[in-house]
Amino acid sequence: MTPAVAQYRQAKAEHPDAIVLFRLGDFFEIFGPDAERAAPILQVALTARDFGRTGKLPMCGVPHHSVDAHLKRLLDHGCTVAVCDQLEPAALARGVVRRAVTRVLTPGTLVDADLLEPGRSQRCVALWAEDGVTGVAALDVSTGDCLLAEVPGGLDGPQLVSELERLDAAELLLSEEAEAPAGLAPGALRSRRGPELFAAEPAVARLRQRVGSSELVAAGVGGWHAAQVAAGALLGYCAGGRLSLPSGFLRVRAQAPEETMLLDPATRRNLELVEASGPGGPSLLRLLDRTRTPGGARRLRSWVQGPLRQLAAIAARQAALAELQQARGPRAELRAGLAGCRDLERLVGRCIQRLAGPRDLAALRQTLVRVPQVAEAAAPLAAPLVATARTTLAAVPADLASVLERALVEDPPPTARDGGFIRPGYDPELDRIRAGSEAARRYIADLERVERERTQIRSLKVGFNRVFGYYLEVPNSHRQPLPPDYVRKQTLVGAERYLTPQLKEQETIVLSARDRAAVREQACLEQLWAQVEDRAAALTAAAEALACLDALQSLAEVADDLGWAHPVVDDSTRLEIQDGRHPLVEAALGPGRFVPNDIGLDGAGARIVLLTGPNMAGKSTYLRQVATITLLAHLGAAVPARSARIGLVDRIFTRVGAHDELAAGRSTFMVEMAEMAAILSAATPRSLLVLDEIGRGTSTYDGLSIAQAILEYLHDHPAVAARTVFATHYHELTALAGSLRALRNHRVEVVEEGEGPGARVTFLHRIVPGGADRSYGIHVAELAGLPRAVVRRAQVLLEDLEAERRLPSDESPPRQLALPLAVAHPVVAELKALELDGMTPLAALQKLAEWQVRARGDEPVE
Amino acid sequence: MVTPGGRIRVLPPAIADAIAAGEVVERPASVVKELVENALDAGARQVRVEVAEGGRASIRVSDDGGGMTPDELRVAFGRHATSKVASLEDLSRIATLGFRGEALASIGAVARVEAVSRRPGQAAAARVVVTAATVEGPWPDGAPAGTSLTVTELFATTPARRAFLRPARSEALACARVVADCALAAPDVAVELHSEGRRVLRAPGSGVLLDAVRAVFGAGAARGCWPVAEPGDAFDVVGVVGGPGVARGDRAGLVLFVNGRRVQQRSLQAAVENAYRGLLGTGRHPLAVLDLRCDPEGVDVNVHPTKREVRFRDERGAYAALERACWAALRRTGGAATLQLGPPAAAGASSGSAPSGARPVVGPRPEAAVAARPGPALEWPAATPSAAGLPLAEAAGWRLVGQLHHRYLVAETEDGLALVDQHAAHERVLYTRLRERLERRDTADGRALPVSEGTGAAQGWLIPELVELPAPLVAGLPQAAGTLARLGIVLEAFGDTTVRCTASPSGVRPSDVARLVAELVDEALTERPDGGVMRVHRLAALLACHTAVRFGDALAPAAAERLLRDLAATPAPLTCPHGRPTVIRLGDAELRRAFGRPAG
């Protein structure tokens, strides 16, 4: 076994779960099963080398200068990476070059700006379930923000899934004994550690040591045991990864589940909250994002992912946004000021982790200089949210900016390695080194002239080469005697080269000054880090204030730009929107093309909208816009409508669009039914249900029956008396309006000219009261391009089916498929009206026979 | 080609329409103007304009106004069909922008138009397609309330016209100007322009003219504007004027309306520029958006086919009203720069603010701490007291405190502090005097008039200075001699390309003489399109700049005080001839705020 292989084995033993990158020459190599895993991710060729007696060893490699890009790719795929680098330059090594693991990177514990997305957090989330509650501790190492929550249910609870989506979990920390379902944060890396990390008492003690008990109580987590254990485990994990989290930097805050709206992953996808569904357009977040700083983008993202549920919080944001929307001058100033601010939060984090370079500190300086400007821009605004942020910004001590200004040059180099970033006059020691070096350099520069005078040798020269350094060269043709301090070093053909002790001394000063200066500058850098850390609390508070202002101005800017109006949000159960539009569809269509629509649910009388009509006429868009507008209202933001009045909603459920999970072995219908089951069990009277085409994936009668049953259940059961918009292609269901009093029929308006297959059908995209009387499925098929012969035949078959099914005493409008509904059979009515007293047994028997005939005649022909 | 022996024939309607249309529809911008004006007349609150290839490929204007019924759509494209006038009397009382009933007909005659319109409350919209003045439809359609018109194939049937269209970029620019004018004319309507798929303009329609100005001219320009509201007997003037700081190099910032209708009238433009005389440097034009309002019976808009000029009953009254309104606004605000120190106090902030509320005035980065702003930056109408501009005559009562760095004079004002740029102030004083001298009729022989002491007395040269000049200038010297003599410069030709200067105003350094003489002679001889009005200004400005005290010149207290008094006595004392401020004032309130003291 070669020494290098031994080094590799050692690194791998220390980090068995990680992909080890091993520096060999100009490359980082990956061996064995790691290589097989990494090669497709990095898209490099997988080769092999002979390995002792055991055959071939797979390997792949990446060049060392571009390793960061590859690291990012590995981390994005949820891998842990250990970088085993050379500790000394190869040229100076004796024997095998010393190597050791210098960096251990996991997706949830990154601080490196190159490896992080500016617009989103990548949190490490620890989970600990006990006593029917799961404690969640979510830490963003780059900013020190630690969120604690307690979610009812175990690790397989549905609420946990929503929470983790909202938290942008990049890594899950779990006990080895815990069983976490696969569907929990599927994109995140699972890190399992032994149960000793999660042992309750040591974990809580670890947390209390870092964050005092009083602070925990102040944050509201004093009684949350499970969450505290999770947090303690997280801190232990970070300590193992050599991550520093000093007290001023680590901020604990509580997230009560009642504070934000519950949105399951399907809803987040359907409403395109943070990810667009297709390559077509932006997501809602992208549409709303006009932030100027990465911190603001992250803040906006967390707002969008967690809509508010408390009226007071919504009102506070509304007040700020309404004011900002009108105050165009201050808003423009605010945007200008924020544009110069950098990612203050993460810059402070890098200083604390002792990773910040000179350019990071320059960015910090630039931001601190801008802070007063931002505060001033916000000065004319009265809303409490803005005023609080401004007060925080005004409280930022100005001295750090002065220190950084004095310490750093205008335009620092990218790395600290070679120095050159500390200004003269900041550090006396550094100045001394530089002055000494400068003096020595001047001495050498002057030497030629001085020595020529001293020795009177006109042809004396001062030279430099790599072997001897500086020397005095005297041609052989000289006559004068040489000074005694000349020591001969080298003889050339026509000259001799000499050194003097003083020359050597000065030379040493010059050559070593560079290194000594670099060392001293590094010390200054560390001093600056310490100064930043001392002010960490004020700086991170200021960063949060900046982020808050940035997110507010972004929402106000969008609302002003697109002409959105502020809704009234109250604690009623209304859902009234006038001239509502779907923001993403409207943006895609272009200006002035989207047909707006209303909805009017007043909670008491009308609670369920049954929407019928052809496909492709805007039903799905209408559904999604109702949900999206409700969600935006709960952000405190303006909505794309002329006006709106929305009662508080605690959860939004959507069941829109079909997607097979064939890979998981479930059909469309199965998925749909599973989702409906979840919805029906979780909905509350304050929820909003948006359901599209329930019962689609199965046979007509099954689907129709299920749909009707669900509607009745939603209507009748007080536990799920939620506001509902139910779109369906079963126009037969419109008859339910007779028996379900809180149900209102609406349809998508269609204009038909002519009859039969040649009829011209125009979709008006308007939702109007009343039920549709047909499905227009065949017209849509025609539009889609089915051959005319197929369309004509289908039309004929439809007419036959409709004619056959018509009940003689059916009073519903013509052309409606008369399928058995919850309408009492006429026989039953007659039975109820029958007068038994005056009937003879024979008459009764005759009646029975007659009814039997009629009952049989009603049965559908297969 | 005319066929010989051709007879007079009545033109078929399509051709007649196309010819008539040529008057109204010159280029895509005309189409945009007509359609947007229709939208505004229809009561729209939102108007969106989309152009592709500058309008050569397509133009789409959509609004949320009253819309049209299917029948109205059908007849709207006929000639002389309009909802705006019904009788001849109406014509003399036109309150709408469009009225001839020609716009849609003209457009339909030279392009393909697709119109979709829905009245609010109707479920279905109606759609028609117009080609070569023939209307097809109406068919039902789904659309938002309001009207949208898409114009394509412009001038497809008249290739000669099409060939005359400018390149897409020029046409796009013309469309942008039209839309900007509409946005400024109707600040309560949200106006948007999309060009080549990108949004290039959005006025929010807040009702505040300043928001529209910000959208069209930018936030920096908006910051430098003041309101104008001058009611009068026959004419009211409403709008905004920009200070010298937002002056432009072209006339595009001078946007004038008559009763809300955009006009390009030389006389009115001159009225505005006149009000700015002396405040702007040469070649600079003001930013001003003004609406001249009067009784519709007092102005005839039916003069010009494109309605760009109008005729007033009282032409001089209109001119005077406009000039007076501008001048009053500029004077009222003083045009003075005020300095912002420290964070402005929030409304209702407690007076005992903590020291942390104040910022160091001179912080590590100068530009972060101090920003000179021309007047109130944010909300108006009430101008803050410091910007309301005490008339500078009171500067005569200021007490001179001293000279700062040999650059600025520091004076104690009634309640605060004033800083005077000694060069700019002296420039203004000299400039005013020189102008007076130049504009006065000179004595018969054109000799240099005796000049009073302290204004740059002409100084004879012991050893005349020789200056090299280009031959044409030397040849023209006799022409300029009189003017120059009035300025205190005596020149004589001394060879083909040399002149000898025997006297020049005091204060001119020997090293400057050559350049000064060259510039002055050049200016004196240059042909000016405005007939020499600017020449006087330029000469005076040139000489004033060269002879005024410079930065770095020490001033004896007596001289400094005299400068202050002279400045106080000068009309328009607040800027130097180049437009830079001469005086910066800090009132008591600002000083207290900066030091974190309670308001006095």
Nearest to A198 by CA among A222, A171, A176: A176
The pLDDT of residue A288: 96
Which is higher by pLDDT, B67 or A815? B67
Q: Residue A343: inside a domain, yes or no?
A: yes
Chain B CB contacts of A594 below 8 Å: 144
Instruction: Return the CATH number at B117.
Output: 3.30.565.10
Query: Taking the alpha carbons of A287, A288, A291, A294 in that order, is the dihedral positive or negative?
Result: negative
- pLDDT tens digits, one per residue of A432-444: 988 888 888 778 7
Residue linked to tokens 């960063």: A543
Q: Residue B28: inside a domain, yes or no?
A: yes
- Does A386 lie in the same domain as A254? no
By CB neighbour count within 10 A (0-12 exposed, 13-18 middle, 19+ buried), where does A862 fall? exposed
- pLDDT tens digits, one per residue of B41-99: 888 999 999 999 988 999 999 999 888 888 888 888 876 666 665 666 655 555 555 55
B446 has a pLDDT exceeding 50: no
Q: How many distinct helices (H) and strands (E) make up chain B?
A: 19, 24
The answer to whether B144 faces chain A, any CB pair under 8 Å, is yes
CA distances from A596 to B22, B194, B300 (A): 38, 21, 42
Of A38-52, A277-291, B313-327, B507-521, minimum mean pLDDT range: B507-521
- Does B317 lie in the same domain as B257? yes
- Does A84 lie in the same domain as A120? no
Ranked by mean pLDDT, which of A49-63, A86-100, A365-379, B540-554 comes out on top?
A365-379
Among candidate residues A523, A550, A582, the one where a domain is terminated: A523
pLDDT band for position A813 (cuts 50, 70, 90)? very low
Chain B CB contacts of A379 below 8 Å: 343-346
Q: Residue A15: inside a domain, yes or no?
A: yes
pLDDT band for position B450 (cuts 50, 70, 90)? very low
Chain B residue closest to A766 (CA)? B123
Which is higher by pLDDT, A678 or B192? B192
Q: How many domains does chain B have?
A: 3
- Does A718 lie in the same domain as A605? yes
Task: Sheet containing A575-580: give its strands across.
Answer: A568-570, A643-647, A575-580, A597-601
Residue linked to tokens 């138009």: B113
Buried b (16+ CB within 10 A) or exposed e, B95-134: ebbbbbbbbbbbbbbbbbbbbbbbbeeeebbbbbbbbbbe
Q: Residue A271: inside a domain, yes or no?
A: no
- Does A606 lie in the same domain as A754? yes
Are A764 and B344 a contacting pair at CB < 8 A? no
- Does B227 lie in the same domain as B197? no
Q: Residue A577: inside a domain, yes or no?
A: yes
Query: Which residues of A lie closer than 8 Å to B, measured between beta carbons?
Result: 326, 328-330, 332-333, 336, 369-370, 372-373, 375-376, 379-380, 382, 387, 390, 394-395, 397-398, 401-402, 405-406, 560-561, 563, 590-596, 749, 751, 753, 762-766, 768
Of A566-575, A632-641, B90-99, B561-570, minimum mean pLDDT range: B90-99
Amino acid found at A535: R
For residues A543 and A367, give the distance between their C-alpha atoms in angstroms, rounded to a whole number: 10
Contacts of A728 (CB under 8 A, 6+ apart): A610, A611, A612, A693, A694, A695, A707
- Does A218 lie in the same domain as A251? yes
- Token output for B57: 């490929």
Are A764 and B124 a contacting pair at CB < 8 A? yes
- Does B528 lie in the same domain as B396? yes
- pLDDT tens digits, one per residue of A203-235: 999 898 888 888 888 888 888 999 999 999 999
Chain A residue closest to B189 (CA)? A563
E-strand stretches of B497-562: 498-505
- Does A174 lie in the same domain as A78? no
Amino acid found at A23: R
Q: Measured between CA atoms, how close is A746 to chain B, in angstroms?
A: 13
Residue linked to tokens 């049954």: A610
A543 has a pLDDT exceeding 90: yes
- Does B542 lie in the same domain as B447? yes
Instruction: Return the CATH number at B395.
Output: 3.30.1540.20
Contacts of A347 (CB under 8 A, 6+ apart): A356, A360, A363, A364, A367
On whether the CB atoms of residues A331 and A320 are closer than 8 A, the answer is no
Chain A CB contacts of B382 below 8 Å: none
For residues A344 and A532, give the distance between their C-alpha atoms in angstroms, rounded to a whole number: 11
Instruction: Return the CATH number at A55.
Output: 3.40.1170.10
For residues B583 and B567, give the distance between their C-alpha atoms in angstroms, rounded to a whole number: 10
A15 has a pLDDT exceeding 70: yes
Chain A CB contacts of B148 below 8 Å: 592-593
- pLDDT tens digits, one per residue of A822-855: 555 677 778 877 778 878 888 888 888 888 888 7
- Does B516 lie in the same domain as B447? yes
The pLDDT of residue B453: 34
By CB neighbour count within 10 A (0-12 exposed, 13-18 middle, 19+ buried), where does A821 fall? middle
- Does B496 lie in the same domain as B541? yes
CB atoms closer than 10 angstroms to residue B31: 27
Instruction: Return the CATH number at B238.
Output: 3.30.230.10
For residues A123 and A185, give the distance between their C-alpha atoms in angstroms, rounded to a whole number: 12
- Does A309 lie in the same domain as A253? no
The backbone region for B585, taken as left when phi is positive above 0, alpha when psi lies in -120 to 50, beta otherwise, is beta
pLDDT band for position B434 (cuts 50, 70, 90)? confident
- Does A129 lie in the same domain as A94? no
Q: Residue A281: inside a domain, yes or no?
A: no
Averaged pLDDT for residues A81-109? 82
- Token output for B275: 């009000």
Averaged pLDDT for residues A133-160? 89
- Does A337 lie in the same domain as A238? no
Q: Residue B208: inside a domain, yes or no?
A: no
- Does B163 lie in the same domain as B29? yes
Calculate Rg over the CA atoms of chain B: 30
Instruction: Return the CATH number at A230.
Output: 3.30.420.110
Q: Residue B447: inside a domain, yes or no?
A: yes
- Does B168 lie in the same domain as B297? no
- pLDDT tens digits, one per residue of A455-466: 888 888 777 776
Among candidate residues B201, B233, B254, the one where a domain is terminated: B201
The pLDDT of residue B367: 27
Of A688-692, B13-17, B45-49, minimum mean pLDDT range: B13-17
Nearest to B411 by CA among B403, B396, B421, B401: B401
Chain B CB contacts of A382 below 8 Å: 346-347
The backbone torsions φ and ψ at residue B413, rounded to the nearest 5 degrees and listed phi first, read -95, -170
- Does A574 lie in the same domain as A541? no
Ranked by mean pLDDT, which of A26-40, A609-623, B583-597 comes out on top?
A26-40
A42 has a pLDDT exceeding 80: yes
Are B204 and A395 a contacting pair at CB < 8 A? no
Among candidate residues B201, B233, B261, the one where a domain is terminated: B201
The pLDDT of residue A476: 83
On whether the CB atoms of residues A135 and A108 are closer than 8 A, the answer is no
By CB neighbour count within 10 A (0-12 exposed, 13-18 middle, 19+ buried), where does A534 fall? middle
Amino acid found at A38: A
Q: Residue B436: inside a domain, yes or no?
A: yes
Q: What is the interface size between A and B, counted as CB pairs within 8 Å?
A: 115
Are A764 and B142 a contacting pair at CB < 8 A? yes
Q: Residue A421: inside a domain, yes or no?
A: no
Are A395 and B356 a contacting pair at CB < 8 A? yes
Which is higher by pLDDT, A506 or B303? A506
Among candidate residues B150, B176, B201, the one where a domain is terminated: B201
pLDDT band for position B334 (cuts 50, 70, 90)? low
For residues B225 and B335, give the distance between their C-alpha atoms in angstroms, rounded to a whole number: 10
The pLDDT of residue B528: 60
- Does B572 lie in the same domain as B467? yes
- Token output for B58: 């397509």
For residues A655 and A682, give the distance between their C-alpha atoms in angstroms, rounded to a whole number: 14
Chain A CB contacts of B144 below 8 Å: 592-596
Q: What is the DSSP string of A302-344?
A: HHHHS-B--HHHHHHHHHHHHHHHH-HHHHHHHHHHHHT---H
On whether the CB atoms of residues B175 and B200 are closer than 8 A, the answer is no
To the nearest whole number, what is the mean pLDDT of chain B?
75
Among candidate residues A105, A125, A156, the one where a domain is terminated: A105
Chain A CB contacts of B190 below 8 Å: 563
Chain B CB contacts of A369 below 8 Å: 363-365, 368
Q: Residue B210: inside a domain, yes or no?
A: no
The pLDDT of residue A746: 92
Of A353-357, A763-767, B14-18, minimum mean pLDDT range: B14-18
Chain B CB contacts of A590 below 8 Å: 50, 194
On whether the CB atoms of residues A393 and A546 are closer than 8 A, the answer is yes
What's the domain range around A390? 290-397+535-562
Which is higher by pLDDT, B278 or B323? B323
For residues A391 and A372, give the distance between their C-alpha atoms in angstroms, rounded to a whole number: 11
pLDDT band for position B373 (cuts 50, 70, 90)? very low
Q: Residue A49: inside a domain, yes or no?
A: yes
Give me the residues of B, 341-400, that contact A with CB < 8 A: 343-347, 356-357, 359-360, 363-365, 368-369, 377-379
The answer to whether B190 faces chain A, any CB pair under 8 Å, is yes
The pLDDT of residue B81: 63
Chain A residue closest to B127 (CA)? A762
- pLDDT tens digits, one per residue of A715-761: 988 888 899 999 988 888 888 888 888 999 998 888 887 765 566 77
The pLDDT of residue B20: 62
Are A328 and B204 a contacting pair at CB < 8 A? yes
Q: What is the DSSP letter of A421?
A: -
Cα B52 to its chain centre, rounded Å, is: 29
Q: Quick one: chain B helix, strand, coil %, rounded to 5?
A: 35, 25, 40
- Token output for A665: 């072995």
For residues B324 and B327, give the distance between their C-alpha atoms in angstroms, rounded to a whole number: 5
Chain A CB contacts of B377 below 8 Å: 329, 333
Calculate Rg over the CA atoms of chain A: 37
pLDDT band for position A541 (cuts 50, 70, 90)? very high
What's the domain range around B431? 337-342+366-600
Q: Residue B6: inside a domain, yes or no?
A: no
Ranked by mean pLDDT, which of A728-737, B3-12, B175-184 comes out on top?
B175-184
The answer to whether B427 faces chain A, any CB pair under 8 Å, is no
The answer to whether B119 faces chain A, any CB pair under 8 Å, is no
Q: Residue A269: inside a domain, yes or no?
A: no
B451 has a pLDDT exceeding 70: no
B381 has a pLDDT exceeding 70: no
For residues A545 and A532, give the distance between their C-alpha atoms in angstroms, rounded to a whole number: 18
Which is higher by pLDDT, B464 or A776? A776
Of A250-259, B121-130, B465-474, minimum mean pLDDT range: B465-474
Q: Residue B395: inside a domain, yes or no?
A: yes
Instruction: Return the CATH number at A766.
Output: 3.40.50.300
The pLDDT of residue B527: 65
- Does A371 lie in the same domain as A343? yes
Q: How many domains does chain A have?
A: 7
The backbone torsions φ and ψ at residue B523, rounded to the nearest 5 degrees and listed phi first, read -65, -40
- Does A626 lie in the same domain as A547? no
- Token output for B561: 């005080």
- Does B537 lie in the same domain as B421? yes
For residues B522 and B535, give the distance between their C-alpha atoms in angstroms, rounded to a whole number: 10
To the nearest whole number, what is the mean pLDDT of chain A?
85
- Does B171 lie in the same domain as B53? yes
For residues B3 and A503, give the distance between their C-alpha atoms in angstroms, rounded to a whole number: 106
CA dihedral A793, A795, A797, A800 (to 10 degrees): -140
The answer to whether B89 faces chain A, any CB pair under 8 Å, is no
Q: Residue B2: inside a domain, yes or no?
A: no
